[in-house]
């Protein structure tokens, strides 16, 4: 029960890694608020947790709208005197080559992935500074560590989240606030599986790309997020934790079987 008497906010908490994080924090004693723009997913998450004996506070809202972010932070301040833990999961992706992806698509992804994270962190720090403590975990990706043709908009914003988190950690450390990022690899959430072409062997390819032979599960990412949010990580800040089953641990070069003893 590492989060007893702690108040947490999870943006994008209505499904996948977000809802798994909500459940993990609540199961360890946190008072959890979740924000998601998908009302159906919010209701489904609440219902599933209630069946497990957990009650969470859910708000349907769009993280790209600063006013809606401000509203949930104000609600937390009114009901619980401020937030202790913030996990910024909300985000999205869109494929398209640099030369062909419409400029409006770049702007929409920027607002969803990076700007919403920045705005949420600004509001979180405002409340955390008053208490002299707090933990922020931002959602990046292994896509922020490497390049993928056709995904420049998404990858570049996830890379920016890593650097932003490093800058933030140095700015707020003096106030007792820690800031870290997580970089998941392929996670077998419903959303990701639904985007894979049927019958193309893509899920098998993702499994084989990981050193442990399978994709990850949302609950495994949530466990790592909970570690960073907790006092078990009290000396960890400005870090990005890779959670990818070993996918990025190899160079990606063709594997030539070794010969001889050398």
Domains and CATH numbers, the chain: 7-242 (3.40.50.720)
Kindly state the average pLDDT of the residues 129-143.
97
Q: For all residues of the chain together, what is the average pLDDT?
A: 94
**pLDDT value at residue 201:** 83
- Residue 196, CA atoms < 13 Å, CB-side half-sphere: 18
Helices (H), the chain: 16-27, 39-51, 66-80, 103-109, 116-131, 152-172, 190-195, 202-209, 218-229
| pLDDT value, residue 262 | 53
Could you tell me if 139 and 21 are in contact, meaning their C-beta atoms sit under 8 angstroms apart? no
* Strands across the sheet containing 134-139: 57-60, 31-36, 7-11, 85-88, 134-139, 177-184, 240-243
Is 112's pLDDT higher than 80? yes
> Distance of alpha carbon 125 from its chain centroid, rounded?
18
195/41 Cα distance (integer angstroms)? 17
The Cβ of residue 224 has, within 10 Å, a number of other Cβ atoms equal to: 21
- Rounded to whole angstroms, what are the CA distances from 53 to 42, 56, 115? 17, 10, 35
Catalytic (active-site) positions: 154
Which pLDDT score, from 0 to 100, does residue 189 have?
86
In this prediction, residue 261 has a pLDDT band, given cuts at 50, 70 and 90, of low
| pLDDT at position 84 | 98
Per the CB < 8 A criterion, the answer to whether 204 and 196 are in contact is no
pTM, two decimals, is 0.94
Q: What is the pLDDT of residue 258?
A: 81
User: Hey, what are 6's tokens?
Assistant: 């702690």
pLDDT tens digits for 5-57?
999 999 999 989 999 999 999 999 999 999 999 999 999 999 999 999 998 99
Q: If you search the block for the tokens 């979180």, which residue do you land on?
A: 124
CB burial string 155-191: b at 16+ within 10 A, e below: bbbbbbbbebbbebbeebeeeebbbbbbbbbbbbbee
Lowest mean pLDDT among 19-33, 77-91, 148-162, 189-203: 189-203
């Amino acid at each position: 029960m590492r989060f007893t008497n702690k108040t947490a906010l999870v943006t994008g908490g209505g499904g996948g890694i977000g809802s798994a994080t909500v459940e993990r924090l609540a199961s360890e004693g946190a008072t959890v608020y979740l924000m998601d723009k998908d009302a159906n997913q919010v209701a489904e998450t609440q219902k599933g947790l209630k069946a497990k004996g957990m009650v969470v506070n859910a708000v349907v809202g769009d993280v790209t709208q600063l006013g809606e972010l401000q509203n949930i932070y104000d609600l937390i301040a009114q009901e619980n005197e401020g937030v202790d833990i913030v996990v910024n999961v909300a985000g999205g992706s869109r494929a398209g080559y640099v030369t062909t992806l419409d400029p409006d698509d770049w702007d929409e992804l920027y607002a969803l992935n990076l700007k919403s994270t920045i705005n949420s962190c600004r509001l979180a720090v405002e409340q955390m500074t008053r208490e002299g403590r707090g933990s922020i975990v931002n959602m990046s990706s292994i896509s922020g560590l490497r390049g993928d043709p056709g995904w420049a908009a998404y990858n570049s914003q996830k890379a920016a989240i890593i650097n932003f988190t490093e800058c933030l950690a140095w700015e707020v450390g003096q106030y007792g606030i820690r800031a870290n990022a997580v970089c998941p690899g392929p996670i077998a959430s419903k959303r990701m599986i639904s985007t894979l072409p049927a019958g193309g062997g893509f899920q098998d390819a993702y499994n084989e790309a990981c050193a442990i032979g399978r994709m990850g599960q949302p609950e495994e990412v949530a466990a790592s997020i909970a570690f960073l949010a907790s006092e078990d990580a009290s000396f960890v800040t400005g870090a990005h934790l890779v959670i990818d089953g070993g996918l990025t641990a190899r160079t990606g070069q063709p594997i030539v079987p070794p010969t001889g003893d050398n």
